[in-house]
Amino acid sequence: MNGEPRRASEPDLPSLWRNRDYNLWWSGTAVSTLGTGVSRLAFPLLMLAATGSAGAAGVVGTCGNVGLVAGLLPAGVAGDRYSRRALLIGASLIQLAAMGTVCWAVAGGRPWLPLMAFLALVEGLAAAAFAGAAAPLVRRIVPGAQLKAAFARAEVRDHGAQLAGAPLGGTLFALARWAPFLADALSYAAVTVACVLIRTPMGPDPAERAVRRPPLRRDLGAGLAFVRGVAFLRFALVWSALINLLFTGIAFLFIVTLRHHGASPSEIGAAEGIATACGLAGALACGWVMRRVSGHRLVLLVSWMLAFGVAGLVPLARWPLAAGLCLGVSIVFLTPLNAVFGAAMVAMVPDAMTARVLTSVNMAVQSCGWLAPVLCGALADAFGVEVPLIAIAVGLTVLAVANHLVPAVGQLAEMSGDGTGEAGEDAGAAEPRVDPDERIAR
């Protein structure tokens, strides 16, 4: 298999559920996402219990994000140069070891802040390596005509795993503080097995490896060079980076705020479960929404719903279930928008550059988010938990207003979501802007 997507006109494509490799990938990453959801809830609760400081909990979250951001560009280059299967397996085993060590330290009564921060950093670096190798995989195992369906089902998978992960994390933490981290470690074993069993060549193909590569320093910038030449990718990068910054703060503050108002770990898990259930509902309706609502309208709708949803958390924080419902309603249409963005980006990028381009976008998106936990934690310690929530709501409102004025948002009305339309034409026109020494023979 050469990794190139097939045309939408190809007849008689079998259902994705009959695609063995897709189902292996879908299942393995579902288990891994479930484990991540369990530990994501448990980490702030652990540090709050061990130190009593929201700032300390924020430091651990920030270290994980720093590792992810720092590793993404090198991971993209590695994903286009070296065996992606080996990178996926190696990264998963490192994550398994990191979470296993957290479990051992917590079980032994040694959840020291420097150790937890270091292990979060290692896990973040391994997550970056995994993301770089995984970026081109869906394109290789799924025909091009089914990319939107594959991304929509990935959103269903992620929200379903998160829906189970939040309450499971709260329950396991209440039973034993080390239990959520053991569950996360085992989840990495599951995705490792899936990567071993997938039959489709993951690449790079021998012909791609034989092409003379530019120096590493220049190759690191090849993905961003491609992004600069595509109007849709530029917009997606900036908008997603700002949303990620604010939403990372929301996710952290949601746990801290509910805990501040006396919610138990199980109640916090249930509240996150309600929010995730709303996201899952949006994922299940993804195909219906994408057929009826343009990307342009989705951006505007999601922007305003997030602004109002976060503002509503301030008066509702004393009632965890109501707060979870408020947050959930605000993110219900985020999933269809993610599916449209993901399918369009994968379709318009050549396979030989997919890892570098998508990890470059991901790096830019994550580059601001790593500050959110420590900044929100410090603000919460200094001024109270409501102040950073209000600041985020104001930021989302400014972003929603700006989206009415940015020309690229209007261009989304003409995008089909599979790389065609105005954005797809722009992508083709932009390719010559990449430095000739950085281009890959097709």
Output the 3-class SS for 363-420.
Answer: HHHHHHHCHHHHHHHHHHHHHCCHHHHHHHHHHHHHHHHHHCCCHHHHHHHHECCCCC
9, 18, 338, 12: which is closest to 145 by C-alpha?
A: 9
Task: Locate 347 and state its tokens.
Answer: 């379709």
Instruction: Domain count for the chain, please give it.
Output: 1
Task: Locate 176 and state its tokens.
Answer: 């034993």
How high is the pLDDT of residue 216? 62
Q: Do 320 and 274 form a contact (C-beta atoms < 8 A)?
A: no
Q: Mean of the per-residue pLDDT values for the chain? A: 81
Q: What range does the domain containing 397 cover?
A: 18-196+219-431
Task: Please indicate, yes or no, if residue 374 is contained in any of the structural domains.
Answer: yes
Name the residue with higher pLDDT: 309 or 209: 309
The answer to whether residue 7 scores a pLDDT higher than 80 is no
Q: Indicate the pLDDT class of residue 307, thresholds 50, 70 and 90.
A: very high
How high is the pLDDT of residue 370? 66
The answer to whether residue 342 scores a pLDDT higher than 60 is yes
How high is the pLDDT of residue 429? 32
Task: Please indicate, yes or no, if residue 225 is contained in any of the structural domains.
Answer: yes
Max avg pLDDT among 67-71, 88-92, 352-356, 364-368: 88-92
What's the whole-number mean pLDDT along residues 258-274?
Answer: 86
Q: Indicate the pLDDT class of residue 182, thresholds 50, 70 and 90.
A: very high
The amino acid sitting at 223 is: G
CATH label of the domain that carries residue 60 = 1.20.1250.20
34, 79, 40: which is closest to 360 by C-alpha?
A: 79
Name the residue with higher pLDDT: 330 or 159: 330
How high is the pLDDT of residue 217? 65
Q: Do 52 and 381 form a contact (C-beta atoms < 8 A)?
A: no
Q: Do 200 and 193 form a contact (C-beta atoms < 8 A)?
A: no
Percent of the chain whose pLDDT exceeds 70: 86
How high is the pLDDT of residue 12? 62
What's the whole-number mean pLDDT along residues 144-151?
Answer: 78
Task: Please indicate, yes or no, if residue 310 is contained in any of the structural domains.
Answer: yes
Q: Indicate the pLDDT class of residue 9, thresholds 50, 70 and 90.
A: very low
Residues 6+ apart with CB under 8 A from 171: 265, 266, 269
What's the whole-number mean pLDDT along residues 298-307?
Answer: 89
The answer to whether residue 378 scores a pLDDT higher than 80 is yes
Task: Please indicate, yes or no, if residue 1 is contained in any of the structural domains.
Answer: no
The amino acid sitting at 80 is: D
Q: Do 274 and 325 form a contact (C-beta atoms < 8 A)?
A: yes
Residues 6+ apart with CB under 8 A from 96: 185, 188, 189, 192
The answer to whether residue 425 scores a pLDDT higher than 60 is no
What's the whole-number mean pLDDT along residues 55-81?
Answer: 84
The answer to whether residue 341 scores a pLDDT higher than 80 is no
Task: Please indicate, yes or no, if residue 226 is contained in any of the structural domains.
Answer: yes
Q: Indicate the pLDDT class of residue 413, thresholds 50, 70 and 90.
A: low
Q: Please state the three-class secondary structure of the chain as a single string.
A: CCCCCCCCCCCCCCCHHHCHHHHHHHHHHHHHHHHHHHHHHHHHHHHHHHHCCHHHHHHHHHHHHHHHHHHHHHHHHHHHHCCHHHHHHHHHHHHHHHHHHHHHHHHCCCCCHHHHHHHHHHHHHHHHHHHHHHCCHHHHHCCHHHHHHHHHHHHHHHHHHHHHHHHHHHHHHHHCCCHHHHHHHHHHHHHHHHHHHCCCCCCCCHHHHHCCCCCHHHHHCHHHHHHHCCHHHHHHHHHHHHHHHHHHHHHHHHHHHHHHCCCCHHHHHHHHHHHHHHHHHHHHCHHHHHHHCCHHHHHHHHHHHHHHHHHHHHHHCCCHHHHHHHHHHHCCCHHHHHHHHHHHHHHHCCHHHHHHHHHHHHHHHHHHHCHHHHHHHHHHHHHCCHHHHHHHHHHHHHHHHHHCCCHHHHHHHHECCCCCHHHHHHHHHHHHHCCHHHCCCC
What's the whole-number mean pLDDT along residues 289-298?
Answer: 80
Q: Indicate the pLDDT class of residue 212, thresholds 50, 70 and 90.
A: low
The answer to whether residue 328 scores a pLDDT higher than 70 is yes
Task: Please indicate, yes or no, if residue 36 is contained in any of the structural domains.
Answer: yes
Residues 6+ apart with CB under 8 A from 77: 132, 216, 219, 220, 355, 356
Name the residue with higher pLDDT: 335 or 431: 335
The reported pTM is: 0.67
The answer to whether residue 380 scores a pLDDT higher than 50 is yes
Task: Please indicate, yes or no, if residue 259 is contained in any of the structural domains.
Answer: yes
Task: Please indicate, yes or no, if residue 214 is contained in any of the structural domains.
Answer: no
